[in-house]
Structure 1
Amino acid sequence: MTPDTPRKIAFQGEPGAFSHQASRRWFPDHAPTPYPTFEAAFAAVASGACELGMIPVENSVAGRVSDVHHLLPHSGLKIIGERFLPIEMMLMAVPEAKLEDIKVAASHAMALLQCRIALRELNITAEVFHDTAGAARALAQTREPDRAAIAPEVSAELYGLKILRRNMEDARHNTTRFLVLTSAERAAAPPEDAPCMTSFVFRVKNIPAALYKALGGFATNGVNMTKLESYIENGRFASTMFYCDVVGRPSDPPLQRALEELRFFAVDVEMLGTYPMDPFRQSAGQQ
């Protein structure tokens, strides 16, 4: 990469997606670079084509993004940060359109579900589209004055649309957590004075009460576990993996002791990253 080449940050989706908006918000010195799939975005970061990746991992309304749990282990990437983005749904249309003329609004099924009360109050019919930003792009091409799209604010800017109604979402607490990824070679330790999170995956041994015993060390050592999720790996129901977020660094004595106990009852323990805790956790009382 030459000095004149802008650094890139990979995201999954079309230009104008919420991941695009998150990339621009927190990494304005990186060029947001879209990829059609999570696999492609991960590969771009692993290969060095992009320095960073901005990947959604969970939403307060819709739940976890399951693909990410499968892709992160063994990817060669490390988590170096987390960001929480409030999800604000914008009703947008071509510049000459008026709110009272809108009959149909297109968007991703999950976005429409999160805006159903507002759509009902406006007497607008919901129409499913494969992607929020894609719905905005398609509307910019067809330019139908009685149709709208529900998408992030950045989509209106990119596709020359006018925002008719802001904050269409029914739940004001709707927030997506993103992970900032980079290659293992680029990953650096977080600042010494930063409160940190640590993420890892593991599989328990096939013995009675293995999960209970594996997690016991976190309780007895006073380690705050903020997330524990199970998922099936490779379609084998006897091979359950667990994804875990805890507060602290592996070098902290309490977490160090808890991880030692975990490894006694678990296999395939992989540390995914230790990274600064987003201030949103403390402001929202989520620590």
Structure 2
Amino acid sequence: MNQLEKARQTIDSIDEQIAQLYEQRMDAVEQVLNYKKENHLPILDASREEKVIAHGVQRIKNEKYKGVYRDFLKGMMRNSRMYQQSLLSNDVIAYCGVKGAFTHLATQRLFPGSPTLNYKSFDDVFQAVVTRKAHYGVLPFENNNSGLVGEVLDGLLEYPVYIRKMSHQKIEQCLLGVPGASLKDIEYVYSKDQALMQSKEFLHQLNVHTIAYPNTAMAAQYVAEQGDIHKAAVGAKENAELYGLEVLATQIEPNSENTTRFLVIGLEPANQGDHFSVVFATKHISGALAKVIEVIAKYGLNMDSIQSRPRKDQMFEYFFYIEFDSPLYTDNTQACLAEIKKICESFKVLGTYPMDI
């Protein structure tokens, strides 16, 4: 056994112990929730979490591991809160795609244990929330490789919903084929257009034909049903187990930090968090957008991003979407937005929300 195999064997053994301890911890998390329910206490106790994290970090003797361990504890506590919230709530969550799609996987992480409804299109998810068939909807919004999902921004403009949360989820694209297939067999690859775009360099090397599909999981399901060694799908590795496929290649996108931001939408604003988004159309006058930027600079608000989207009602006119890393409900922010509205033909606050990274 070489050094690598020994190290991996040690990791596997430790992971087994961690799994057992994690189950015990989650049992205790449920006990804490039961007490809080009986005594009408909130799930989040920020001061308690800060103390636990500080005390936990002190247990780490090696200085170089302390920062990583702090992040580990924060993530574990966030997951514990989400689990507690799912036990308290019977909220129905809508998402686009089928079981195994990246949005389905994101929904499971954001709302573990909650009942879900899946739909064929982004528009269907918006309508499910608006008609109260679902309490919340989960939608992909932006990928750091392929950019903004324009149809979702269109839905935010069209429907009376709010962004309640944004969550960053790491995406690993894999090439999935039927049992017995190899890379040299593949001639046709199916997946959602964004997934094909993210993997285009790898697929170009294979010299294959790419066919767009509504989503990654449906593409995997189709390949499994066809049973053809010449057909493959791009999608999450979870789809291999779900549909009886084999992983022919992993991490086929060039960017190892391939990340998608998912939105949680609802009919009511969250009214919490330190980020907010707006969308607006300026009046058709020279320099209108520049004036908006000047106002933002004047009040010292921090813009995370600005995006444009063609207007459906007017040719060669645009809506603008801006994200702010600033609190919404301050006098300074409200004064800034009031001044911006005077320059705009239309203006909408899409919500203030926490940002999970």
Decide which of 129, 138, 143 is 1:54's aligned counterpart.
138
**For residues 95-114 of structure 1, what are the structure 2 equivalents within 5 Å?**
96-99=179-182, 102-108=185-191, 109-114=193-198
What's the % identity of the aligned pairs? 30
1:207 maps to 2:285: yes
Q: With structure 1 as the length reference, what TM-score do the two structures score?
A: 0.84
| Residue number in structure 2 paired with 1:141 | 225
SS at match of 2:310: strand
1:116 maps to 2:200: yes
- Quick one: distance in 2 between partners of 1:263 and 1:223? 15
1:219 maps to 2:297: yes
| Residue number in structure 2 paired with 1:246 | 324
- Higher share in helix: 2
Offset of residue 43 of structure 1? 0.4
| Residue number in structure 1 paired with 2:347 | 269
Q: What are the ranges of 5 or more consecutive residues in structure 1 without an aligned counterpart?
A: 281-287
| 8 Å Cα contact 1:88-1:169 kept in structure 2 | yes
- Quick one: distance in 1 between partners of 2:340 and 2:267? 26
Partner deviation per Cα, 1:233-265 (whole Å, 9 max, x = no partner): 224136532111111222123322221221221
* Residues 197 and 88 of structure 1, relative CA distance in 2, 3 Å threshold: same
| 8 Å Cα contact 2:163-2:353 kept in structure 1 | yes
1:10 maps to 2:94: yes
SS at match of 2:279: strand
Decide which of 141, 146, 154 is 1:70's aligned counterpart.
154
Q: What are the ranges of 5 or more consecutive residues in structure 2 without an aligned counterpart?
A: 1-86
Partner deviation per Cα, 1:50-77 (whole Å, 9 max, x = no partner): 1111111211111111112221124121
State the AA in 2 paired with 1:65. Answer: V
Offset of residue 81 of structure 1? 0.2
SS at match of 1:107: strand
| Residue number in structure 2 paired with 1:42 | 126
| Residue number in structure 2 paired with 1:31 | 115
SS at match of 1:118: helix
| 8 Å Cα contact 2:92-2:135 kept in structure 1 | yes
* Residues 73 and 97 of structure 1, relative CA distance in 2, 3 Å threshold: same
- Quick one: distance in 1 between partners of 2:307 and 2:198? 24
- Quick one: distance in 2 between partners of 1:269 and 1:33? 31
- Quick one: distance in 1 between partners of 2:316 and 2:197? 34
* Residues 103 and 211 of structure 1, relative CA distance in 2, 3 Å threshold: closer
SS at match of 2:315: strand
The alignment yields a C-alpha RMSD, in angstroms, of 2.5
SS at match of 2:294: helix
| 8 Å Cα contact 2:183-2:248 kept in structure 1 | no
Q: Larger deviation: 213-222 or 42-51?
A: 213-222
SS at match of 2:162: strand
Offset of residue 181 of structure 1? 0.5
- Quick one: distance in 1 between partners of 2:306 and 2:166? 17
- Quick one: distance in 1 between partners of 2:149 and 2:347? 21
SS at match of 2:305: strand
SS at match of 1:72: helix
Offset of residue 152 of structure 1? 1.6
Q: With structure 2 as the length reference, what TM-score do the two structures score?
A: 0.68
SS at match of 2:112: coil
* Residues 114 and 211 of structure 1, relative CA distance in 2, 3 Å threshold: closer
| 8 Å Cα contact 2:146-2:194 kept in structure 1 | yes
- Quick one: distance in 2 between partners of 1:136 and 1:151? 7
SS at match of 1:73: helix
Decide which of 86, 89, 105 is 2:170's aligned counterpart.
86
Higher relative contact order (CA 8 A, sep 6+): 1
- Quick one: distance in 2 between partners of 1:214 and 1:137? 47
| 8 Å Cα contact 2:186-2:229 kept in structure 1 | no
1:256 maps to 2:338: no
Structure index of larger Rg:
2
Q: How many residues align?
A: 269
* Residues 241 and 98 of structure 1, relative CA distance in 2, 3 Å threshold: closer
Partner deviation per Cα, 1:70-104 (whole Å, 9 max, x = no partner): 2112412111000112221112223x325356323
* Residues 120 and 66 of structure 1, relative CA distance in 2, 3 Å threshold: closer
State the AA in 2 paired with 1:107. Answer: Y
Offset of residue 199 of structure 1? 0.8
SS at match of 1:134: helix
Offset of residue 221 of structure 1? 1.7
1:125 maps to 2:208: yes
Offset of residue 105 of structure 1? 4.7
* Residues 164 and 218 of structure 1, relative CA distance in 2, 3 Å threshold: same
SS at match of 1:236: coil
1:188 maps to 2:270: yes
